């Protein structure tokens, strides 16, 4: 329902019928309507139906005339309860505009459409305000602790809202024991919190000294005083101002600007709330956010104080509030993500510290028992570490023995002793023979139990196993002597097995991995496998004495290959075709 009244026509000529006909016909023309019908005509009341954009409106005109004034009331109604459509806005504004020039006043009595705009907007106002309140509380509680309001806020805000909170608590006893400062804070004061700064004395303030023992005020006017001339002037100004205030407390009103100026010059920012606490989460700077918030404050007051709202103003309010809500929501989301990460890190840190303390407690207790009983009780990681030390030392020595063998490829993997795996692979690059050492661990750190790590050597049909044993210590408490006594002595049995393994591996390499130098390989490829692995010695007598391989034998596949022969002395040549050896060639050239 829309109700407004036009008061006192500017000229005295007024014919109710003709005037309302003129207004409605002009409305029909202006809004390009084809539907207009007056269905009730009385002396002081006329009612019409008006169709606009397929919606039908009921428009009532009521005239109230006296000897002193004349009023024309206008009521506009939709047959349905939908008061949010733009057509109603067009109709009410157009009727008002067609009449306003001929009347002294137009008084708006009721506007359900404006009320609906206000109702929808107030929900957004409420959401925007509470979003910022929630964000401020969340950030400052996280950064400054639960007492941030009392510890950091200025006295005027604290006093203002303490008085207000007392009233609210009396009205709502269910919430009399909770923190509600920001629930009642004015919209404008929220932006003050965002931009708030706390101050501290500068390091080179006139009130402070490096050794903090001398008094800068004492004898500051004396020539021997270490203060500069500028510092002395500032001290004199401050002291004179304070003297005047102490002499007459009423002079504070006149002198407080001087006092503020003197103090500000000695202070520096301690905490900048926007830069330190809020800026990291907002996607805009403070100037932009402050401008939006001041605009929101004005819009909020318009809505809260029941001012009329038309479509354009509603759109404007919605746009600015949506932008502001988006900024706050984004900031809140970023901060929540940050706090979740921080909380997870904190819990992880606590867990780590608790585990470290527990490990230390167990370690201290174990060391106490071991010292008292004279034995060692190792945990799993200590047993594995000691096994790794024994095994690595043994294989380092073994590998060093064959370090200069260029015909061998040796790969060692330090075992983690968690599962079965290969830890050593030795491969002959020319012959192709290989040797592997596989580790099979069984680790049990229980007291008195024996752990066994088996090293399995595999090569050319050979399989040998070597067991490395460790028996963990075990104690029992002797109530008669009130101390711990050894029940099982800890013992390592690894040296003998490792020594045997080293000898076996060395023997296998000596038998099945003969050393072959680069000059013992012919520059001819094998006819059978096409590899350059044919055994060759230019000194046949040494080859026969060596007896490792026959001249021409392929070290890869074992096939015999025919090499060329010197046509003069029958020496086997490092080539496929017959020819002359180096000696015979030199001899012939010298003739």
The pLDDT value recorded for residue 327 is: 92
Per the structure block, which two tokens stand in for 237?
Answer: 């100004």
Q: For tokens 């020595």, name the residue.
A: 397
DSSP per-residue letters across 409-436: EEEE----SSS-EEEEEEEETTT--EEE
| Whether the Cβ atoms of residue 101 and residue 301 lie closer than 8 Å to each other | no
Give dist(CA 565, CA 579) in Å, integer.
Answer: 6
With 0-12 CB in 10 A as exposed, 13-18 as middle and 19+ as buried, what is 132? buried
Residue at 108 is within a domain: no
Q: Is 462 helix (H, G, I), strand (E, B) or coil?
A: strand
Residue at 179 is within a domain: no
Give dist(CA 233, CA 238) in Å, integer.
Answer: 9
Spatial CA neighbour of 108 closest among 119, 99, 96: 96
Split into its structural domains, the chain has a count of 5
Residue at 553 is within a domain: no
The sheet with strand 434-442 has its strands ordered as: 408-412, 421-428, 434-442, 450-459, 462-471, 491-493
Q: Is 455 helix (H, G, I), strand (E, B) or coil?
A: strand
Give dist(CA 184, CA 163) in Å, integer.
Answer: 11
Q: Is 78 helix (H, G, I), strand (E, B) or coil?
A: coil
Spatial CA neighbour of 536 closest among 561, 567, 566: 561
The reply to whether 75 and 41 lie within a common domain is: yes
DSSP per-residue letters across 318-341: HHHHHHHHHHHHHHHHHHHHHHHH
Residue at 176 is within a domain: no
The pLDDT value recorded for residue 221 is: 43
| Whether the Cβ atoms of residue 281 and residue 335 lie closer than 8 Å to each other | yes
Per the structure block, which two tokens stand in for 295?
Answer: 């605009």
Cα atoms found within 13 Å of the Cα of residue 346, Cβ hemisphere only: 6
* Enclosing domain of residue 427: 380-512
The reply to whether 429 and 454 lie within a common domain is: yes
The reply to whether 11 and 46 lie within a common domain is: yes
The reply to whether 398 and 455 lie within a common domain is: yes
Question: Other CB atoms closer than 10 Å to residue 162's CB: what's the count?
Answer: 12
The reply to whether 194 and 212 lie within a common domain is: no
The reply to whether 435 and 455 lie within a common domain is: yes
**3-state secondary structure string across 107-173:** EEEEEHHHHHHHHHHHHHHHHHHHHHHHHHHHHHHHHHCCCHHHHHCCHHHHHHHHHHHHHHHHHCH
Per the structure block, which two tokens stand in for 587?
Answer: 């001899």
Give dist(CA 15, CA 21) in Å, integer.
Answer: 10
Q: For 328, list phi and psi in degrees, rounded to 5.
A: -70, -45
The reply to whether 392 and 436 lie within a common domain is: yes
**Would you give the distance in Å from CA 135 to the centre of its chain?**
18
The pLDDT value recorded for residue 238 is: 67
In sequence order, which residues have a C-beta less than 8 Å from that of residue 449 and are 6 or more positions away? 471, 472
Sign of the alpha-carbon dihedral angle for 400, 401, 403, 409: negative
Give dist(CA 525, CA 386) in Å, integer.
Answer: 49
Residue at 163 is within a domain: no
Q: Is 490 helix (H, G, I), strand (E, B) or coil?
A: coil
The pLDDT value recorded for residue 465 is: 95
Question: Other CB atoms closer than 10 Å to residue 31's CB: what's the count?
Answer: 16
Q: Which of 307, 341, 373 is the last residue of a domain?
A: 373
Residue at 59 is within a domain: yes
Give dist(CA 445, CA 388) in Å, integer.
Answer: 15
Q: Which CATH number fits the domain that encloses residue 49?
A: 3.30.200.150
Residue at 30 is within a domain: yes
Per the structure block, which two tokens stand in for 5?
Answer: 């009244």
Radius of gyration for the chain, computed over Cα atoms and rounded to the nearest angstrom? 51
Spatial CA neighbour of 77 closest among 58, 52, 49: 58
* Per-residue pLDDT in tens (0 to 9) along the chain, 591 residues: 888 888 888 887 788 898 999 989 999 888 888 888 899 988 889 999 998 888 888 999 998 887 778 889 998 887 666 655 677 888 888 888 899 888 888 887 887 777 777 777 778 888 888 889 889 988 988 888 878 888 888 877 877 777 766 555 555 555 454 455 566 677 888 888 898 888 777 777 766 655 544 555 544 444 445 566 776 777 666 666 666 665 566 666 666 677 777 777 777 888 899 999 999 999 999 999 998 888 888 877 777 666 776 677 777 777 888 888 899 999 999 998 888 888 777 677 777 778 788 878 888 888 888 888 889 999 999 999 999 999 999 999 999 988 888 888 899 999 999 999 999 999 988 777 889 999 999 999 999 999 999 999 999 889 999 999 999 999 998 888 888 899 999 999 999 999 999 999 999 988 888 877 777 888 888 888 888 888 887 765 554 555 567 788 888 777 888 888 888 888 888 888 888 888 888 888 887
Q: Which of 233, 248, 265 is the last residue of a domain?
A: 265
Cα atoms found within 13 Å of the Cα of residue 426, Cβ hemisphere only: 25
| Cα distances (Å, whole numbers) of residue 83 to 55, 221, 293, 303, 384 | 12, 79, 30, 18, 81
The reply to whether 451 and 435 lie within a common domain is: yes
DSSP per-residue letters across 238-289: HHHHHHHHHH-GGGHHHHHHHHHHHHHTTEEEEEEHIIIIIGGG-SS-HHHH
Residue at 241 is within a domain: yes
The pLDDT value recorded for residue 84 is: 59
The pLDDT value recorded for residue 389 is: 94
| Whether the Cβ atoms of residue 457 and residue 504 lie closer than 8 Å to each other | yes
Give dist(CA 153, CA 181) in Å, integer.
Answer: 11
pTM: 0.52
Give dist(CA 47, CA 465) in Å, integer.
Answer: 113
The reply to whether 408 and 499 lie within a common domain is: yes
Give dist(CA 21, CA 61) in Å, integer.
Answer: 11
Angle between helical axes of 187-194 and 112-144 (0-180°, round to 10): 30
Q: For 403, list phi and psi in degrees, rounded to 5.
A: -60, -35
Q: Is 359 helix (H, G, I), strand (E, B) or coil?
A: helix
Give dist(CA 545, CA 390) in Å, integer.
Answer: 41
| Whether the Cβ atoms of residue 77 and residue 47 lie closer than 8 Å to each other | no
The reply to whether 29 and 118 lie within a common domain is: no
The reply to whether 279 and 258 lie within a common domain is: no
The reply to whether 302 and 355 lie within a common domain is: yes
């Amino acid at each position: 329902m829309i109700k407004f009244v036009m008061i006192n026509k500017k000229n005295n000529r007024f014919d109710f019928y003709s005037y309302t006909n003129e207004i409605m016909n002009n409305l029909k023309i202006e809004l390009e309507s084809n539907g207009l019908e007056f269905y009730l005509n009385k002396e002081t009341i006329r009612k019409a139906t008006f169709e606009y954009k397929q919606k039908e409106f009921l428009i009532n005109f009521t005239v109230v005339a006296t000897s002193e004034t004349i009023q024309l009331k206008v009521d506009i109604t939709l047959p349905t309860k939908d008061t949010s459509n733009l057509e109603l806005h067009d109709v009410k504004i157009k009727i008002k505009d067609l009449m306003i020039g001929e009347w002294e006043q137009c008084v708006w009595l009721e506007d359900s459409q404006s009320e609906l705009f206000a109702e929808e907007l107030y929900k957004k106002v409420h959401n925007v305000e509470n979003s910022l309140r929630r964000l401020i509380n969340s950030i400052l509680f996280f950064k400054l602790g639960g007492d941030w309001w009392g510890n950091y806020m200025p006295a005027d805000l604290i006093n203002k809202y303490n008085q207000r909170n007392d009233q609210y608590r009396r009205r709502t006893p269910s919430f009399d024991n909770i923190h509600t400062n920001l629930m009642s804070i004015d919209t404008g004061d929220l932006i003050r919190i965002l931009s708030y700064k706390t101050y501290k004395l500068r390091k080179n303030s006139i009130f402070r000294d490096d050794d903090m023992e001398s008094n800068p005020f004492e004898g500051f006017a004396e020539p021997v005083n270490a203060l500069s001339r500028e510092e002395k002037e500032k001290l004199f100004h401050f002291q004179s101002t304070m003297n005047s205030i102490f002499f007459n407390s009423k002079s504070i009103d006149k002198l407080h600007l001087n006092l503020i100026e003197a103090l500000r010059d000695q202070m520096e920012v301690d905490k900048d709330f926007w830069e330190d606490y809020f800026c990291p989460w907002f996607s805009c700077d403070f100037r932009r956010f402050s401008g939006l918030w001041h605009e929101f404050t004005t819009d909020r007051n318009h809505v809260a104080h029941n001012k009329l709202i038309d479509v354009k103003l509603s759109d404007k309010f919605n746009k600015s509030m949506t932008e502001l809500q988006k900024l706050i929501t984004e900031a809140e989301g970023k901060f929540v993500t940050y706090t979740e990460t921080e909380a997870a890190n904190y819990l992880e840190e606590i867990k780590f510290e608790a585990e470290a303390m527990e490990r230390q407690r167990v370690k201290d207790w174990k060391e106490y028992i071991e010292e008292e009983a004279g034995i060692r009780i190792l945990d799993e990681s200590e047993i594995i570490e000691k096994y790794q030390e024994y095994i690595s030392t043994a294989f380092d020595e073994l590998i060093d023995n064959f370090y200069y063998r260029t015909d061998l490829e040796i790969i060692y993997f330090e075992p983690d002793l968690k599962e079965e795996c290969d830890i050593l692979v030795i491969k002959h690059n020319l012959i192709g023979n290989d040797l592997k050492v596989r580790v099979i661990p069984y680790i049990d750190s229980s007291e008195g139990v024996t752990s066994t790590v088996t090293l399995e050597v595999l090569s050319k049909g050979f399989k040998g196993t070597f067991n490395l044993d460790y028996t963990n210590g075990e104690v029992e408490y002797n109530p008669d002597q009130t101390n711990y006594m050894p029940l099982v002595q800890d013992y390592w049995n690894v040296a003998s097995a490792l020594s045997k393994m080293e000898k076996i591996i060395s023997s296998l390499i000596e038998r099945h991995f003969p050393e072959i130098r680069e000059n013992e390989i012919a520059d001819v490829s094998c006819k059978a496998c096409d590899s350059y692995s044919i055994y060759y010695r230019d000194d046949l007598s040494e080859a026969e004495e060596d007896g490792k391989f026959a001249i021409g034998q392929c070290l890869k596949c074992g096939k015999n290959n025919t090499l060329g022969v010197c046509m003069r002395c029958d020496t086997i040549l490092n080539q496929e075709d017959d020819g002359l050896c180096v000696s015979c060639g030199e001899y012939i050239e010298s003739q």
